[in-house]
Structure 1
Amino acid sequence: MLFNSFAFLLAFLPLALGLHWLAERFAPAVRLPLLLVLSFVFYGYWDVRFIPLLALSILINWTMAQLFVRTRVTALIVAAIVANLTVLGIFKYAAFFADLANAAAGLGLPRYEFALPLGISFFTFHHVMYLVDLRAGRAPRFDLIRYGLYIGFFPQVLAGPLVRWTELMHQLDERPYLRSDAAQRFAQGLMLLTIGLAKKVLIGDPLAGYANPVFEAAANGGGLTTLQAWQGTLAFTFQIYFDFSGYTDMALGIGLMFGVVLPQNFEVPYRAVSLQDFWRRWHMTLSRFLRDYLYIPFGGNRHGLAVQLFALLATMTLGGLWHGAGLTFVVWGIAHGLGLCAGVLWRRTGVVMPAVVGWALTFLFVALTWVLFRATSFEAAMRLYEAMFGFAPFGSGFKWRALVVAALVAMIGPTAWAAVHRLPPNRWLAVAFAILFVVILLKIGDDANYEFIYFQF
């Protein structure tokens, strides 16, 4: 079920919170098993057929971890990681690689397409992080319930944030509602949920109404004007931010209401003054994963310039492929890898770029590369680029007001997390958030309810 749905907001979440409070208050020993059951119910609501996949994924990886702890046979960890990536590859990339092989070598391989289990990329990466750390001696052994919650805790199972075991496991043994700040944390969680819903429903979804027709026209070969192409590109640039950061705010807020602090994932990324700065602010938990589990193992910045540039390019190429089984995603990743390499070379010159110039170049680069991310094909992307750079009628009727509002909200002020932690307890503030929540519910009931963009990854 979607976070922005009546089924979740008015049924599942209140029931889950009530059961969790009862367990925490009267039967603390069943609190964690209850959370795991609730997580499976939440996940299975989408498609009950995927519950066995998640359950087997947890059980097999946990078993391999237990065997490794007992035997210290490194091959067990290697086999588990390979198995995880193989399952991800079968579900997400089988058709993609078959198409590549057939196009490159004319092999005539059959093209199998499987229904993509929601969140498979995210819970696969959680397995990999734990297994790598276990092999390196950094991670301890956990029981099955706790490991299951690390992988399947429902606020983050579908689209992150990517949580390290060090950030979650110690919190599972707390009595969250006995804390002196329990009421404050619950209220902050509720505010984060409301802000995230507002970003998604009141800003992100309306921007989809500007972006989708433009990208659909490009995909269908329709004519585009320059203004339409820029409008669609800028609309998607802000839509994906409000959509994904809104989801993250909701996930963090729901986690707080259940007594769990999840890591932040966005730090006003469109204020970045370089591409390196952007990736330190955008999808921060993925950037951290790519750095620690790909970039550094590839050589990082400790083995000379050539190795560093290769590591950056290889890491971002794989990061692009992780986002989707398509060459447009791969090229999007390559473009960001090349951009990061250019940043490394620029910094080596010692020339300081004015912050405003760095911001403008970074924002323009990110917006232009979002075209590859959103377009359904290279042909569609090229139609947009041609129109954007003047190889089309100029057009009229640029809808700038929604874009200006989105830009101001995205670039000015603190993150939602920082804001709710600065706000003092106030009766009228509570009333304002209650009114905003009702407005969102009315909007959800009145309009089309878009799925979150990152659910497809």
Structure 2
Amino acid sequence: MLFNSFPFLFGFLPVALALHAIVALHRPAWRLPLLVVLSLVFYGWWDPRFVPLLAASIGLNWLVARRFGHSRAVVLIPLAIAANLAVLALFKYAGFLAGLAALLPGLHDLARPSLALPLGISFFTFHHVMYLTDLRAGRAPQMSLTRYALYIAFFPQVLAGPLVRWSEILHQFDEKPYARPDAAERIGRGLMLLCLGLAKKVFLGDPLAAYANPVFQAAAEGKVVSVVDAWQGTLAFTFQIYFDFSGYTDMALGLALLFGIVLPQNFDVPYRATSLQDFWRRWHMTLSRFLRDYLYIPFGGNRRGLAVQLAALFATMTLGGLWHGAGLTFVAWGAAHGAGLGIGLLWRRAGLPMPALLGWALTFLFVALTWVLFRATSFEAAMAVFKGLAGHAPVGHGFKWRAFVPAALVALIGPTAWAAVHRLPPRPALAVAFAVLLVAVLLRIGDDANYEFIYFQF
């Protein structure tokens, strides 16, 4: 059940909002259990077989947390984290690891398991890791099973984030969303975020897929990719993934607001960044924060000298690349960003100047080029695109630059959707404008192919 689908928009969402309003106004004690049930129904709509996995994951981790609270046995938390990562590895990386093992002498006939990947497993696994780590450090409190289940499975963010820390959401569970003085304003801004996220997805992100997909498909089939096609496909995917993922995040934040929950922002015009470090402060911000606090700092961070810091950057980003996908191209993508961050660190340490415009151009070019590794299905396919980008291919023709103008203007100049909806003053004309936008989006959803969100595969 996609956020950008009629079953969700005209089925699940209205029913969920109605039930939530009735319960919150007349039986407030039932509100959190209701949200848990709604979240499990939403998750199970994709594939009911994985609901027991999610429920067992929640229940077992909660039991570990409770046991740790009573016994303070320090070994419990590392074992639980290892078990969570093992489950993630089983479903997401078993085939990948078997493929690597098959490269070793005597193991070329090793069977490669093919397991269906439960949606959102990477995200809810990281939520478990964050809570358990903070619990062991004495930062996180014990919580009831209902609250823990809602923290892990809350339907706007369970499939593709944002990654939410317990401290950002737990205190909101006690609020009475319809008793707040700004309740109506919150609902209005939630609807606006939902509309803008849908619009970014269907009017900007999805059309760009029509330019990116054929290029990378041709590369995957071993065909020569022309210079024009390589640049068109690379730029198309560069903007597509931004509007696809940030559009999803806008919808997630808007939906959460409708149910009285404020989720953390995940994007801050990343293609306006003037350095790679700045980019990762703006792109997938909650993942960047997770990688910093739960990998980079434990690896040594900037506290143990330059060599350790460079190694920590490289290792953190390489693992971040592996988290995105079970493939060596994802590892290479993460490693490239780790190396790029290291070069940026050395540049700053040397006190060398970097004009803002040049920094922006280099950052955008680096990010766009490394997206090729992220999108390509193999190194051979990536190399075919890189050859076109470097001019080692026929020139080709027909670069459709007009398709990129609106995307570039919104991505580089426009504010984030969150900032926009909080700046716009409540006006009847504004409500009409968003109603018209929603109708246009719905017509587009009904007319065109409905693309699944890119980050759902992770």
Q: Aligned ranges for residues 317-336 of structure 1 at < 5 Å?
A: 317-336=318-337
Per the alignment, residue 373 of structure 1 pairs with 374
Per the alignment, residue 114 of structure 2 pairs with 113
Q: TM-score, normalised by structure 1?
A: 0.99
Instruction: Give a deviation string over 1:80-123, Cα, whole Å, max 9, x none.
Output: 10100000000000010111111134424321110000000000
Larger deviation: 327-336 or 219-228? 219-228
Among the aligned pairs, what percent are the same residue?
73
Per the alignment, residue 37 of structure 2 pairs with 37
**Deviation of the 1:79 alpha carbon:** 1.0
CA–CA separation in structure 1 for the residues paired with 2:352 and 2:409? 30
Code of the aligned partner of 1:198 = A
CA–CA separation in structure 1 for the residues paired with 2:94 and 2:314? 24
Per the alignment, residue 227 of structure 1 pairs with 228
SS in 2 for 1:392: coil
Per the alignment, residue 204 of structure 1 pairs with 205
Structure 1 moving runs of 4+ over 4 Å? none
CA–CA separation in structure 2 for the residues paired with 1:254 and 1:199? 16
Per the alignment, residue 396 of structure 1 pairs with 397
Q: Aligned ranges for residues 405-420 of structure 1 at < 5 Å?
A: 405-420=406-421
CA–CA separation in structure 1 for the residues paired with 2:255 and 2:63? 30
CA–CA separation in structure 1 for the residues paired with 2:437 and 2:82? 47
Instruction: Give a deviation string over 1:351-374, Cα, whole Å, max 9, x none.
Output: 220000000000000000000000
Per the alignment, residue 5 of structure 1 pairs with 5
**Deviation of the 1:414 alpha carbon:** 1.4
SS in 1 for 2:75: helix
CA–CA separation in structure 2 for the residues paired with 1:375 and 1:106? 29
CA–CA separation in structure 2 for the residues paired with 1:109 and 1:126? 33
Which ranges in structure 1 are unaligned for 5 or more consecutive residues? none
Per the alignment, residue 218 of structure 1 pairs with 219
Code of the aligned partner of 1:38 = L
Per the alignment, residue 245 of structure 2 pairs with 244
Per the alignment, residue 187 of structure 1 pairs with 188
SS in 1 for 2:266: coil
Distance 1:297 1:204, change over 3 A: same
**Deviation of the 1:423 alpha carbon:** 0.6
CA–CA separation in structure 2 for the residues paired with 1:346 and 1:106? 46
Q: Aligned ranges for residues 38-437 of structure 1 at < 5 Å?
A: 38-107=38-107, 108-437=109-438
CA–CA separation in structure 2 for the residues paired with 1:57 and 1:68? 16
Code of the aligned partner of 2:342 = C
Q: Tell me the number of residue pairs that the alignment of Structure 1 and Structure 2 aligns.
A: 457
CA–CA separation in structure 2 for the residues paired with 1:104 and 1:173? 55
CA–CA separation in structure 2 for the residues paired with 1:37 and 1:215? 40
Distance 1:411 1:72, change over 3 A: same
SS in 1 for 2:3: coil
**Deviation of the 1:207 alpha carbon:** 0.3
Per the alignment, residue 24 of structure 1 pairs with 24
Larger deviation: 411-420 or 338-347? 411-420
CA–CA separation in structure 1 for the residues paired with 2:192 and 2:105? 55
Instruction: Give a deviation string over 1:311-355, Cα, whole Å, max 9, x none.
Output: 000000000000000000000000000000000000011122000
CA–CA separation in structure 1 for the residues paired with 2:176 and 2:337? 43
**Deviation of the 1:47 alpha carbon:** 0.3
Q: TM-score, normalised by structure 2?
A: 0.99
Instruction: Give a deviation string over 1:150-201, Cα, whole Å, max 9, x none.
Output: 0000000000000000000000010011000000000000000000000001
CA–CA separation in structure 1 for the residues paired with 2:48 and 2:96? 26
SS in 2 for 1:239: helix
Code of the aligned partner of 1:201 = V
CA–CA separation in structure 1 for the residues paired with 2:358 and 2:419? 27
**Deviation of the 1:223 alpha carbon:** 2.3
CA–CA separation in structure 2 for the residues paired with 1:382 and 1:28? 57
**Deviation of the 1:28 alpha carbon:** 0.3
**Deviation of the 1:35 alpha carbon:** 0.3
SS in 1 for 2:53: helix
Instruction: Give a deviation string over 1:251-278, Cα, whole Å, max 9, x none.
Output: 0000001000000000000000000000
Instruction: Give a deviation string over 1:383-431, Cα, whole Å, max 9, x none.
Output: 0000111111111100001112101110112111011011101001100
